[in-house]
Amino acid sequence: MNVRKIISSLMAGALLLGLTACSPSAAEQETRPDNEIVTYEPLDPNKTLITLGRYTVFNDAPLKAALEEKFPHIQIASVNAAGTNTVRAYVEKQGEHEDLPDLIFSGMRMGDSKYAYDFSAESFTSRYNLSSLEALDADGSLRQLPVNSAVKGIFYNKTLFEEHGWEIPATRDELFKPCEEISAEGIRPFVPCLKYSVQEVGLGLTNRELLGTSEKRAQYEAVVKGEASCEGLLEPYYSVLRELYDRGIVVEGDFTSSLTKNRQAMYAGEIAMIPAELGMYGLYEEENPDCEIDFIGYPTDTSGERWMQMVPGTNLAAPQRSMDDPDKKQILLDIVDYLSTDEGQDVLFQCFTGISGVKTYQENIRSEFWDVKNCLDKGQLYFADQFGQTSDFETAFDWMRGNMTMDEVIAATDEFEPLDPTAPEPSVAIGTAAEDFTALETSMLMADVMREAAGADAALLLHGTYYKGNSSKIYQGTIDIPDRFNLRSVSKDDALTTYEITGANLKKLMEHPLLNGEEVNALYAFSGLKAEYAPWRDEASNVLSLALADGTEIDDGKLYTVAAWAGTVDESYVSSTVKAHSELGTITDLMTAYLADAGEVSPAKDGRITLNWEQDAA
């Protein structure tokens, strides 16, 4: 059952029965899915449900509140996307199975995808800068609208700097030299997350050398397209990367580090500076740590001159399938029209940061982003597409480690395949499914695989959370895109781990999941257990019953072995760590190996979970 089919049954069934949401009858219960949780908020059968797909991280609360106030006949439910890094391929898979949410917020480019609606004939497109639309144009069609242009620079812990009397670096040398002083305090000075982008840092620190003249910009664009050699251009880029490594500023762990963990470490004063996209400020506001942070451009060899990189940010799409419904089409067009006004942009920029694509709104830059405005006013913004594929980052890593000469790394770079952001992403088949799984059924299968691999009494996997949880689905037929099972913020170092947990704490953590010490309204998908769960009840009373898989009562005083990925179960619930199964690799590795051997797979349908759609009494 997919999201669209679930929503259809929920809304159509409830409308047909004409029942109230406060006291559902047995007949209404039958219209509630028994194998999926679309939303933890009760659905109003008198409103049209609009699903909002989060394929990039942002605080969606202001957007949901504003849309439901502006359009009182709708209800918004957010759907977190799978943790895959091949987002476009997964979106195409969802489109093929008619399972896309109604509004798609993502950082990828749809190109001319037949699954996305073409906005090009809509009048509200005239409010956008032509250049921002041209970046998304696909042979005359416009399948997405720009929400923002992202800005990349350097975040630093301003509180930490002030406490130690450190000055923000005025030149590139001043970025490097104080690193020794900061390191002497036991603090990492400048920590990039190189797992997703090496070029962001290298280009940021050498953009003047690489892009300072029209001739160099032309050569760079030709390199990106694979039409010219990078010799005589990228040497400064590679030199600065090597310098970061040789000085000990960048270490081996940074090649696979988690940006989320780096961000949390910066809040804690363990890291002074991290390069990142301005959108991280929205997370800072949502997380509200006990420190002040600031955002600046990359310093150059000229004192006080800083530059920021401008890149396409988040885009908005609507699936063609939703637009084929005339009533829903008008609702979605009204929403997009509203979001394309200054009033709507005010709402969006409570959720996103960067620079608006709407012409009349571009002057409204927040005062906190003083250096963004400074760079804008001085024209110190540069555009630079990525050269090569993400897999080519390993070449940069080898160079930084000293395993290649400059001639060798230049020659290797010339062999990179050009990156086409709208090209189909190749994927390898890893298994076969007899039928569609819901996201919840997929999470349960993943938990089964974890429990079997660890040999534990039970296994737990957060379900539906953007971070550290699964939101992916398995669809009928060939299973590809292995990294759909990826869990955001669970790094390669976060092994599948067997813990000992008392029965009392097992019950408690199932009712009160904690992420980074904060309770989240989410279900742990499980294996080895049996539960009745009420998604629409108060967060403190979702778990109505919990037992072992065979129905045996859980003994509060007994220790049970529970398998989970490191960092997904709060330490306060754990009695001891039995074993970290590092040899099993990541969840993607584990699921790929399982599906390769399992033959055709189907949802368990073993009755382990009963979803109860009752609500709390008014």
Domain assignment present for residue 86? The answer is: yes
Both 65 and 121 in one domain: the answer is yes
How does residue 12 score in pLDDT terms, banded at 50, 70 and 90? very low
Domain assignment present for residue 27? The answer is: no
Q: What CATH number has the domain bearing residue 534? A: 3.90.780.10
Mean pLDDT of 61-85: 95
Number of domains in the chain: 3
Q: Is 583 exposed, middle or buried (0-12, 13-18, 19+ CB in 10 A)?
A: exposed
Both 71 and 204 in one domain: the answer is no
Of the candidates 38, 58, 117, 54, the one whose C-alpha atom is nearest the C-alpha of residue 87 is: 54
Non-local (6+) Cβ contacts of 372 within 8 A are: 151, 153, 278, 295, 308, 355, 365
| pLDDT(9) > 50 | no
End-to-end CA distance of the chain: 31
Both 396 and 490 in one domain: the answer is no
Domain that holds residue 106: 48-148+314-356
Specify the range with the lowest mean pLDDT, choosing from 115-124, 171-180, 225-234, 330-339.
171-180
Domain assignment present for residue 397? The answer is: yes
- Would you call 254 helix, strand, or coil by DSSP? helix
Both 154 and 303 in one domain: the answer is yes
Both 58 and 81 in one domain: the answer is yes
Non-local (6+) Cβ contacts of 273 within 8 A are: 154, 155, 156, 157, 189, 190, 191, 266
| pLDDT(617) > 90 | no
Determine the pLDDT at residue 312: 80
* The residue to which tokens 């904060």 are assigned: 518
Both 234 and 185 in one domain: the answer is yes
Both 409 and 510 in one domain: the answer is no
How does residue 17 score in pLDDT terms, banded at 50, 70 and 90? very low
H helical segments located in 165-288: 172-176, 178-184, 199-211, 214-224, 235-246, 259-267, 280-287
| pLDDT(136) > 80 | yes
Q: How many helices (H) and strands (E) does the chain have?
A: 22, 27
Q: Is 503 exposed, middle or buried (0-12, 13-18, 19+ CB in 10 A)?
A: middle
More confident residue, 51 or 10: 51
Domain assignment present for residue 29? The answer is: no
Determine the pLDDT at residue 31: 42
**Does residue 102 contact residue 319 with C-beta atoms inside 8 Å?**
yes
| pLDDT(405) > 70 | yes
Non-local (6+) Cβ contacts of 459 within 8 A are: 447, 448, 450, 451, 526, 527, 528, 562, 563, 564
**Does residue 500 contact residue 575 with C-beta atoms inside 8 Å?**
yes
Q: What CATH number has the domain bearing residue 231? A: 3.40.190.10
State how far the Cα of 545 lies from the Cα of 507, in Å rounded to an integer: 9
| pLDDT(182) > 80 | yes
More confident residue, 618 or 58: 58
Non-local (6+) Cβ contacts of 13 within 8 A are: 28, 30, 31
| pLDDT(186) > 90 | yes
Both 182 and 290 in one domain: the answer is yes
